Structure 1
Amino acid sequence: MAAEHPSAARFCLLGPVQLVVGERAVPLGGAGMRGVLAMLLLEPNQVVALDRMVDVLWAHEPPPSARTMVQGYVSRLRQRIAEVDAGALIVTTPPGYRMVVDESMIDVTVARSLLAKAREQPAARRAELLRAANALWRGPALADLGGRLTAPELTELRLAILEALYDAQLELGRHREVIGELTQLIDAQPFRERLVAQLMLALYRANRRATALDVYQRFAHRAAQELGMDPGPQLRELHARVLRDDSGLLEPSPDPVITPKVGVLVPAQLPRAPSGFAGREDELDWLSGLLPPGETAAIGVLAGPAGVGKTALAVLWAHRVAQAFPDGQLFASMRGFDPQHAPVRAADVLTQFLLALGVGVDDVPFELDDRAALYRSILADRRVLVVLDDARDAEQIHPLLPAASSSFVLVTSRIRLDGLVARTGAKLLSLGTLGVDAAERLIEHMAGTPAHSKDREQRRKLARLCGHLPLALRIAAARLAGNPQWTVADLVAELADERSRLGALDLADADTSVRAALDVTYRSLRPELAETVRHLGLFPGTRIGPHPVAALTGGDVDECRRRLRALAASFVVTETSRDVFLMHDLVRLHAFALAEAEMSDVDRTLGQRRLLRYYLAGARTARALLRTDGVVRTETAGPPMATAEDAVDWIDQEWANLLAVVETGADSDNETDEEVVALARLAAEFSEGTRALGPAALSRLVRLVV
């Protein structure tokens, strides 16, 4: 390890943040630069998102130049590391940066390795290794960052080292030596029962029985007053043995003073596997390809929009591979997007999991960090499948991730969880809608009747009207099964009306609805994103980009680009190529209904007018460029174009949208009639000179122009 070679470069986090070469600390600049280094070293060889760095360094209130400042910090860090030939490299890896480094060069890793190595060693060797680990601390971890970055796991690591060290010292009969240290440490960590037990035992062995009992009474009183809880059963048992002057306590023992009582339960918490499952063969193969886990617990993420079948896929796959996890399967609904309940706290899920793994009710630790540490310890020697369904964000599930183990964690969410991928190396799969054949099989199974040749095409139409979305398909099929008098053609006719389609995909008695599922996603968005969704309900075309959205909202193009990408992360839209976004048909209808219900007539009219003028400005600029075959001034209200080639590209990309804007304007009766006609005339010119129109579009244009 790097710590064994004094001349080698070392990265230090257990105290001031430093890069040390030999015995010399390399100057690293201010707290911001050291904070960036610390974040990269806390997650070595993993991507740390730039946005997360900004949020941490400026406590979620960054200045406008924050991203540029972080990029500057990274640049200077690269320079310092290269100057001293430290053997590490900071690599730009979207969405952030990754520190490529031998982890044995980091004092945190060395401390963890020494703790792990000490296990199963004789007491004398164990104490030696643990003292070496504790000596790596040169003060509070991350001491010189001014509180910008906190890492509670480093506090937990040091406490785990100290507790193990005191156990070794007690086993060696060095009880008098540890009394002062334990007393001081308990003043800083008053609710660590293991430390209290160690101090009581040391005092008892030093013939200070009354003081040992007083330590217990002070702890019990404080726990009752401040936490409303009693001491745990093992601490109470130790207290009882001291009270009755149990001489057995005088004999050094290799067993820790307090250890959690863990049974041998094998949990089997998976919900029932879904029936009528169709398709997803590639996705099932992808999941199976993540097995077996390696030295660290593997993590898979299934992300996708509401109703796409994430939970069904996760549960089905989990049942198929359950035999590969002989130590059990854990399942928790995180309720990240439940309209009736708040998201489940990680602390509550940890309690559920610990009880399922055999920990007694009284042995579940009070603090979240302690529960997580016990959970990781139990899973370290087990092969367990953990399914976390409907996660709200990475922070909700991070405490539920095992560390080094052969377990596997599968997470589902309505957002992409890019932060989790960046921090842990999780593998992400974004789920799309079903293929044509799979959608038809799902309808056939749910409806309970096979498709005959005469209605197979009708079922395919039904699947198209449902957007091949599994939830919509199941609702449609359930309506067919529940109403034998209805034919597929009847349901197709009802769904063909866009204004009533979402209402038709609603099973009121079962509290199952496509609209309700989409509402949950919409209500979870930040206000500015929800506003953008409402404006998208005014967009008559299919191909969405930042410039037309900026026209609709009256906003900044760059800001609208960021909003669209944020909506893509929540699967409201899909970015099919750079700056090209599409909306699923049912999501589009939902956005249209939101615009109708939640926007005033004035705001709707204003947005439509701005969009019309945007396309009119773009069409005029394109015509000027095509006529002159040279550079003309781009209208400020329109899209950026500089050459005839740009004009042709814009027309080709925006043609369907341009016609949709014309048709929408022609259907309205307002003061923009002249602008609608002007845009229609320009579209007619383009159709003659640059492309052929279909009969329906040509008919509309002729009608408008004449």
Structure 2
Amino acid sequence: MWDLRILGPVELLADGRRLDLGPAKQRAVLAALAVDAGRTVPVEVLIDRVWDEHPPRTVRNALHTHVLRLRRSLETLGDAARLEFRDGGYALSIDPERVDLLRFRRLAGRARGPAQSPGQTADLLREALGLWHGQPLAGLRGEWAAQVRDECEQQRLSATLTLAPIELELGTPPGAVADLVRPLLETHPLVEPLAAVLIRALRADGRPSEALACYRRIRQRLRDELGAAPGHELETAHQAAPRRPAAEAYVPRQLPLDVRGFTGREAELSTLDEFLDEADGLLVAVVSGTAGVGKSTLAVHWAHEVRDRFPDGQLHVNLRGFDPGGPPAAPAEVLRGFLEALGVPSQRIPGDVPAQAALFRSRLTGRRMLILLDNAADAAQVRPLLPGEAGCLALVTSRASLSGLVATEGARPLRLDTMSGAEGRELLARRVGEHRIKDDPDAVDRILTACAGLPLALAITAARAATHPSFSLGTVAAELTEARTRLDALADSDPATDVRAVFSWSYRTLDPAGARLFRLLGLLPGPDAGINAVASLAGMRTDEVRPLLALLIQANLLAEQPAGRYGCHDLLRAYARELTDRIDPEADRRAATHRVLDFYLHTALAGDHLLYPNRTKLYDRPDPVAAGVTPEPLADMAAALDWFAREQRQLRAAVDLAAAADLGTLTFLLTWALGTYYDRDWNGRDWIACLEIALAVAQRRPDDPLRLARIHYSLGSAQRELGHPDRSQHHLELALELLDGRDEVGERAIVHLNLGTTVRELGRYDEALEQAQLALEVYRAHGWRAGEASALNNMGWVHVILGNYEVALDHCQRAVAIQEELGNWPGAAHSWDSVGYVHHHLGAYAEALTCYRRSRELFREQGDRRLEAIILTHTGDTHLAAGDPALARDAWRQALDIYEEIDHRDSAEIRAKLRSDLARVAQSS
């Protein structure tokens, strides 16, 4: 049994077990498909739903990666769920009954049917509402997710408004009806029918004072927000409720001033609302997060929003857990202040903490009070300050996760992350004015990037812009990006608003081993890393580094992300880097950098070998794996593809890091190891960027012409694949010059082979044959059969262009035989394509299609989407020549789908084919 949940966090449960659905964007892809289960969602629509209006440049690659991983997760379900690409989009083929949102809508629709009795309607709506387990799409951000949430909430509201009166009529316990209605009334406080049902339920449950309080609250809100009086239905429910004079008592109101213009954090506020709605047995909620992320601001704002739920008052204290001005507040000091606020004379307050805590809990008995315990150091500081029974809520904020309170006191945890781009933009607009935001959107983007989504940094920047209205936002953005570090630009004389000082308060709580690891994290390439990369950086075993990672997570200096990855926002990374540069000896920093680069290099080389076992061997082998380095174990090609996809940003950054450290061999080897993956993933631009970096490093030491030749050869191949044969020829000819007079005949042969392909694309066919012949002679002379097959294949391709079909077929069939015998499947796939191409030109269309089918199967097994699309294009051409335009269109559309997914230049050519074919069909009809 399995279920896909959307009415809460996006979850896939199989036999009671939650399957790993990956990061938020990946879950958003699944949700965006699930709401239209069975229907095709165009790629553009899917991108809009998941990435809103600002998708990254590589969004199609990212989408394809997410889809591949989701397919693996869905494999657990067999044929019950399939994620398919068709008609320019993706479709999730799944039983709608297994998707909670779709089942909810079906049940609610049936309940509205005229043939249902009240009991049947109630049964259907109970089942429908029972599917909810939180805020829909919880944890997903963006306009589409917000829109779906709003629609779901309206449907839930409608179902509840229908069910609640029926429940009262059917004799359902009124307390249960009140529990059904109350959470929605908190979300929709101006829906009078909802309030009327709650008042009726409370009255029937013998709780007239609560009914009266409910009526007064909504009457006040109607007056304040709408300028209206209660309607007939609400007034009737109120008039039926017996009145009772309210008792007068001193009510403490200690909440700090709410933040003016509070923005964002809708998901987190909703989560706190959900905690409160579950609060029959809940006494404690913990808001944790890194320094400067806005924990106190959120807690104070939410406390103001719900203070009416706590009519007996609110208590507040700053526990100074991470305060540079002195030690954390002692529980005895806090309890004395609380007891005095509750009316206990100072002479009656006991002297020891246990007795104070007991008296405090006694004073809270029968009351509904909110206790805001801000900036806690640890669980031990908090425990004496907690209430003893339901009705009161302790809301705790801390930089530590306080997992002990979660484990022993049943606290509900909420981890606060950095702000989204939309939330940060709204914060700036509220603080500096919407007109300034609209006048310079580019500067706003640079400010948001520099502040890394940290509310404290955004608030400091906004304050600077607001207090200097003559400064343009461009000037403010330049200060952030041009300062020695962004931390300098965010410095302030007040330690409470100096980002560096605020971070330091958390850092000082670490033990030496944890502090060292945090500092070294500033040396990581990329924004996050897996545990093996972190262990290699630190020169430790994974079992040694894991407790230290837990310590940093507990201190909210690090976040554990899906799939066992660890990272922190950019400003914390900058702070860590600043610390390691100042504290750790240069030799230690250099050794750590070498270790983490060694991790990426050896894992990437192993992955490259899995993707292309017969790739030309390197002449300069890397050093053995360094002590303290733990490469990632990669079992097979699929694992290698997944690792490369997951580590793309880190690997790209690793090349930059190696070059900056002037590590020429490492820079070259890393770049080489990325070549096959970049080619398969059609990421030629990043490959060229890495090669140009490697070239710049190698040119600083021109005493290694072979390495320079290798880089020029690789640049030539990459430029040709990107459609720049002139640039390709330039680099390949430079490679030949560097190899002139050297003994590396194999190196010259592969350059001749590639130069032949390049000049063939330039239309110089005699020269292409000459270059392939030069390579063939070398390969045969040295018994290098894979190279011989490649040269034969290239010669065959030129002969088919020249119309020498029988010669071409002989060359290409010999190439296939050699490659299959060697088990060189990438080479065999190329050669099968060539044989099919020759058969096509000989008019043997059935034979051509058989060859293409074999070639496509091999390329698909290799995960090579670009070449699979090329084969589909050739397949369509052959179908058209064979007189079957419908099959031709189908093959071309599949090719176009792939080209559009990987953003390939040949997509325009396929569109032209489809347009031309449609025009022919129109003329014939």
TM-score, normalized by the shorter chain, greater than 0.5 = yes
Q: Which amino acid aligns with 1:455?
A: D
State the partner residue of 1:642.
Answer: 635
Are 1:592 and 2:577 an aligned pair? yes
Q: Deviations over 1:358-406 (max 9, x none)?
A: 1111111112111111111110122211000011111111111111241
Q: 1:510 to 1:608 in 2, by over 3 A?
A: closer
Report the more deviating stretch, 429-438 or 305-314.
429-438
3-state SS in 2 of match to 1:544: strand
State the partner residue of 1:214.
Answer: none
Counterpart pick for 1:657 among 650, 670, 673: 650
3-state SS in 1 of match to 2:333: helix
Q: Note if contact 1:379-1:405 (Cα within 8 Å) is conserved in structure 2.
A: no
State the partner residue of 1:64.
Answer: none
Distance of 1:322 and 1:364 partners within structure 2? 27
Q: 1:676 to 1:435 in 2, by over 3 A?
A: closer
Q: 1:295 to 1:445 in 2, by over 3 A?
A: closer
State the partner residue of 2:544.
Answer: 559
Q: Which amino acid aligns with 2:658?
A: G
Q: Deviations over 1:285-304 (max 9, x none)?
A: 32233336755453222111
3-state SS in 2 of match to 1:271: coil
Distance of 2:482 and 2:384 partners within structure 1? 47
Counterpart pick for 1:371 among 352, 356, 364: 356
Are 1:541 and 2:526 an aligned pair? yes
Q: Deviations over 1:632-671 (max 9, x none)?
A: xx968422223333333322222322222221121224xx
Distance of 2:310 and 2:693 partners within structure 1? 63
Q: Which amino acid aligns with 2:418?
A: T
Q: 1:551 to 1:510 in 2, by over 3 A?
A: closer
Q: 1:510 to 1:576 in 2, by over 3 A?
A: closer
Distance of 2:255 and 2:613 partners within structure 1? 68
Q: Deviations over 1:543-583 (max 9, x none)?
A: 31111111111111122233223322322222221321222
3-state SS in 2 of match to 1:374: helix
Q: Deviations over 1:276-335 (max 9, x none)?
A: 211122322322333367554532221111111111111112122223222221101111
State the partner residue of 2:27.
Answer: none
Distance of 1:324 and 1:639 partners within structure 2? 52
Distance of 1:338 and 1:276 partners within structure 2? 26
State the partner residue of 2:405.
Answer: 420
Q: Note if contact 2:611-2:677 (Cα within 8 Å) is conserved in structure 1.
A: no
Q: Note if contact 1:336-1:391 (Cα within 8 Å) is conserved in structure 2.
A: yes
Q: Which amino acid aligns with 2:266?
A: E
When Rg is computed on C-alpha atoms for both structures, the one with the higher figure is 2
Q: Note if contact 1:333-1:390 (Cα within 8 Å) is conserved in structure 2.
A: yes
State the partner residue of 2:335.
Answer: 350
State the partner residue of 2:238.
Answer: none
Q: Which amino acid aligns with 2:256?
A: P
Q: Note if contact 2:431-2:463 (Cα within 8 Å) is conserved in structure 1.
A: yes
Q: Deviations over 1:216-255 (max 9, x none)?
A: xxxxxxxxxxxxxxxxxxxxxxxxxxxxxxxxxxxxxxxx
Identity of aligned residues (%): 37
State the partner residue of 1:276.
Answer: 261
State the partner residue of 2:310.
Answer: 325
State the partner residue of 2:273.
Answer: 288
State the partner residue of 1:204.
Answer: none
Are 1:684 and 2:675 an aligned pair? yes
| TM-score (ref. length: structure 2) | 0.45
C-alpha deviation, 1:493, in angstroms: 1.8
Are 1:606 and 2:597 an aligned pair? no
3-state SS in 2 of match to 1:450: helix
Q: Which amino acid aligns with 1:379?
A: L
Matches within 5 A, 1:194-213: none
Q: 1:290 to 1:458 in 2, by over 3 A?
A: same
C-alpha deviation, 1:691, in angstroms: 4.5
Distance of 1:470 and 1:313 partners within structure 2? 11
Q: 1:404 to 1:685 in 2, by over 3 A?
A: closer
Matches within 5 A, 1:8-407: 265-291=250-276, 294=279, 296=281, 298-407=283-392
Give the total of aligned pairs: 439
Q: 1:650 to 1:286 in 2, by over 3 A?
A: closer
C-alpha deviation, 1:534, in angstroms: 0.8
Q: 1:699 to 1:339 in 2, by over 3 A?
A: same
State the partner residue of 1:512.
Answer: 497
Q: Which amino acid aligns with 1:540?
A: P
C-alpha deviation, 1:519, in angstroms: 1.4
Distance of 1:543 and 1:283 partners within structure 2? 24
Q: 1:567 to 1:498 in 2, by over 3 A?
A: farther
- Dislocated runs of 4+, deviation >4 Å: 292-297, 634-637, 701-704
State the partner residue of 2:684.
Answer: 693
Q: 1:643 to 1:510 in 2, by over 3 A?
A: closer
Q: 1:554 to 1:355 in 2, by over 3 A?
A: same
Distance of 1:641 and 1:293 partners within structure 2? 45
C-alpha deviation, 1:539, in angstroms: 1.0
Q: Which amino acid aligns with 2:337?
A: Q
Q: Note if contact 1:463-1:473 (Cα within 8 Å) is conserved in structure 2.
A: yes
State the partner residue of 2:465.
Answer: 480
3-state SS in 2 of match to 1:362: helix
Q: Note if contact 1:297-1:403 (Cα within 8 Å) is conserved in structure 2.
A: no
Q: 1:323 to 1:597 in 2, by over 3 A?
A: same
Q: 1:397 to 1:511 in 2, by over 3 A?
A: closer
3-state SS in 1 of match to 2:413: strand
Q: Note if contact 2:612-2:676 (Cα within 8 Å) is conserved in structure 1.
A: no
3-state SS in 1 of match to 2:286: strand
3-state SS in 2 of match to 1:506: coil
Q: Note if contact 1:621-1:635 (Cα within 8 Å) is conserved in structure 2.
A: no
Q: 1:623 to 1:399 in 2, by over 3 A?
A: same
C-alpha deviation, 1:700, in angstroms: 2.8
Q: Note if contact 1:335-1:344 (Cα within 8 Å) is conserved in structure 2.
A: yes
3-state SS in 2 of match to 1:507: coil
Q: Which amino acid aligns with 2:346?
A: V
Distance of 1:683 and 1:327 partners within structure 2? 64
3-state SS in 1 of match to 2:485: helix
Residue segments in structure 1 that go unaligned for 5+ positions in a row: 1-262
Q: Deviations over 1:10-51 (max 9, x none)?
A: xxxxxxxxxxxxxxxxxxxxxxxxxxxxxxxxxxxxxxxxxx
Distance of 1:626 and 1:284 partners within structure 2? 47
Distance of 1:305 and 1:626 partners within structure 2? 40
State the partner residue of 1:447.
Answer: 432
State the partner residue of 2:665.
Answer: 674
Q: Note if contact 2:288-2:295 (Cα within 8 Å) is conserved in structure 1.
A: yes
Residue segments in structure 2 that go unaligned for 5+ positions in a row: 1-247, 616-623, 698-710, 713-925
State the partner residue of 1:20.
Answer: none
C-alpha deviation, 1:448, in angstroms: 4.8
* Aligned alpha-carbon RMSD (Å): 2.5
Q: Note if contact 1:421-1:428 (Cα within 8 Å) is conserved in structure 2.
A: yes
C-alpha deviation, 1:604, in angstroms: 0.8
Q: Note if contact 1:462-1:492 (Cα within 8 Å) is conserved in structure 2.
A: yes
Are 1:471 and 2:456 an aligned pair? yes
More helix as a share of residues: 2
3-state SS in 2 of match to 1:415: coil
C-alpha deviation, 1:607, in angstroms: 0.8
C-alpha deviation, 1:412, in angstroms: 0.7
Distance of 1:608 and 1:506 partners within structure 2? 29
State the partner residue of 1:119.
Answer: none
| TM-score (ref. length: structure 1) | 0.59
Q: 1:578 to 1:509 in 2, by over 3 A?
A: closer
Q: Note if contact 2:428-2:437 (Cα within 8 Å) is conserved in structure 1.
A: no
Distance of 2:492 and 2:547 partners within structure 1? 36
